[in-house]
Amino acid sequence: MQIAISDKQSFSTNKKLEEIKDGYLVLPIFEGEKAKFSSELVSSFLKENPKFGKLYEVQLLYSPNLKIVLIGLGKKDKFDFGKLQNFAGAATKYLLAKTEEANLALPKGLSLSGEQIGQALSIGIQLMDHDPSLDYKSKKEPHKLKKINLLSSDPKLRQGLERGNLLSGSINLARKLADMPANELSPTVFLNHAKDLAKANNLEITVLDEAHAKKKGMGAFVGVAQGSDEPSYLIALEYTGNSSSKEKWGLLGKGITFDSGGISIKPSSNMHEMKYDMCGAAAVLATMQVLAKLKVKNNIVGIMAVTENLPGGKAQRPGDIVRTYSGKTAEVLNTDAEGRLVLIDAIAWAQKDFKANKLIDLATLTGAIVISLGDFNTGVFTNNVQFAKQLINAGGQVGEKYWLMPMDEDYDEMIKGEIGDITNIGHGGSMPGAAGSITGAKFIEAGVKENIPWIHLDIAGTAWDSKPKPYRGAGATGVGIKTLVKLIEGDK
């Protein structure tokens, strides 16, 4: 989608808006706001409907030539980057099939910089414009909307738009991969995307296939991979932006291209959604692309553990004990708790072979986090609360919400092994699955060396939407990418 800044004239005053006499004009309205816009149409509507303005509420008003689309912004004191992004998404959603070009007025009096405003608007528009069904429907209905004119005179908007377009391009790549069905996105196809991206962005790539992973002693990864006939890979992409620094970020992504549960097979209802079990790996891939394009002054390794979890003839069995690359042994009591298995080896690989010393993993790890937090907050687990607070704060600045979960030592008992060191599901709680997201995080933590700051993001609730949102279509969301870029870039 083309996003232009209206160069006709300055739109810093509402008076100028009245110069738009035809076509579509989107007008943001805060809840309870008295419109200063002197259009008779708008002011009489708001007089009749004084409660208009609830978040993402839409109302069309029209005179013969001008169609005004009012969009509610909710309460002004609660407005932020994320809601501005979503406002642009809601506007785009309304316009997509209706017109080729539209004008969009900006909310006034925001406590965001012009750069942030441009970024938020661009991301909201481009994320809504992305439509995975266009790759599959035989009868395509491409979006009519081609161009949005932002009515603003702020010169800072332009650099924000550029950055927003860069970010949303990568976010939409991650979403596209995640929305692909598992028959089209095998681990090998994912690897090919990673290879292309590495080449285009000058990233160093290292790939371990199953045989190589086995030889290195990555028994947990191999245990999961062996149930599928498709080849599996551990992929590392490296970016070096500050060769004189020893600091090295390790970003790790769970990349299960399909999770059937393995021998501990899942119930069939909603199993099709387990094509999304690679959203962590897609987020890592996209984040590496953005960081490289922005030429950040940091060192980063992005690791993706990519395999299917299937119950083939060679599949691992409940009760198997695997030797992980961390040195610890793990009892596989449930083959459906496979994400933590692939990640414990990936995280050891990041530390031992790449010397990463600041770790963040992203994983659609547990159904339990969906029960706890629903669609809106990503669960945060850490061995270093200060580090996690930096991430949560970065998320707040870019409209991604996080919630810090407990990691007390008390929970360690719940993954203690009978004959192995640790178990891949929790036990000893007051009901099966008790503290399911925390015991999952505890398992991954077992692969983290002492004094290495580490954050685990359980994105199972936030990585995809089963139903459309008022500001974004259904499917993968690309969660995490904006936050990671903000956090890492801020740490120079």
Cβ atoms of 262 and 310 within 8 Å: the answer is: yes
C-alpha closest to that of 126 among 97, 163, 169: 169
Give me 22's structure tokens: 């035809």
User: Does residue 277 belong to the site contacting ligand BES (CB under 6 A)?
Assistant: yes
State both tokens at 93. 């959603």
Q: CA end-to-end span of the chain, whole Å?
A: 33
Window of 124-132, 284-292, 365-373, 389-397 that interacts with ligand BES by CB under 6 A? 365-373
Considering only residues 321 to 380 of the shown chain, the ones binding Mn ion according to CB under 5 A are: 336, 338
Instruction: Single out the catalytic residue among 163, 248, 340, 482.
Output: 340
CB under 5 to 8 A by kind: which of ligand BES, Zn ion, Mn ion, none does 73 bind? none
> Site residues (CB under 5 A) for Zn ion?
256, 259, 277, 339
Applying CB under 6 A, among 115, 336, 361, 445 the residue interacting with ligand BES is 336
DSSP 8-state class, residue 5: E
Which residue's CB is nearer to Zn ion, number 105 or number 438? 438
Among 366, 377, 382, 477, binds ligand BES (CB under 6 A): 366
Taking the C-alpha atoms of residue 36 and residue 47, their distance in angstroms, rounded to an integer, is: 12
Nearer to ligand BES, 17 or 263 (CB): 263
367 binds, among Zn ion, Mn ion, ligand BES, none (CB under 5 to 8 A by kind): ligand BES
Q: Taking CB within 5 to 8 Å according to partner kind, which of Zn ion, ligand BES, Mn ion, none is near residue 370?
A: ligand BES
Q: Is 259 in the site for Mn ion (CB under 5 A)?
A: yes
| CB of residue 464 to ligand BES, shortest distance in Å | 9
Indicate which single residue of 124, 160, 223, 339 sits in contact with ligand BES (rule: CB under 6 A).
339
Tell me if 458 contacts ligand BES by CB under 6 A: no
Residue with tokens 């600091």: 247
Of residues 339 and 426, the one with the C-beta less far from Zn ion? 339
Taking CA atoms, 224 is separated from 218, 254, 258, 312, 442, in Å, by 11, 12, 12, 11, 19
> Has 158 been annotated as catalytic?
no
Which two structure tokens, joined as six digits, stand for 485? 């870029």
Sole residue written with tokens 């339990």: 368
Catalytic site includes residue 214: no
Q: Quick one: what does residue 362 bind among Mn ion, ligand BES, Zn ion, none, with the CB cut-off 5 to 8 Å set by partner type?
A: none
Quote the CA–CA distance of 85 and 93 in Å, as a whole number: 12
Q: How far is CA 460 from CA 323, 368, 398, 466, in A?
A: 27, 9, 20, 12
- Which of 290, 341 has the CB closer to Mn ion? 341
Q: Which of 266, 352, 401, 416 is catalytic?
A: 266
Phi-psi label, residue 464: left if phi above 0, alpha if psi -120 to 50, beta otherwise? beta
Cβ partners under 8 Å of residue 450, min gap 6: none
What residues line the site for Mn ion (CB under 5 A)?
A: 259, 336, 338
Residues belonging to the active site: 266, 340
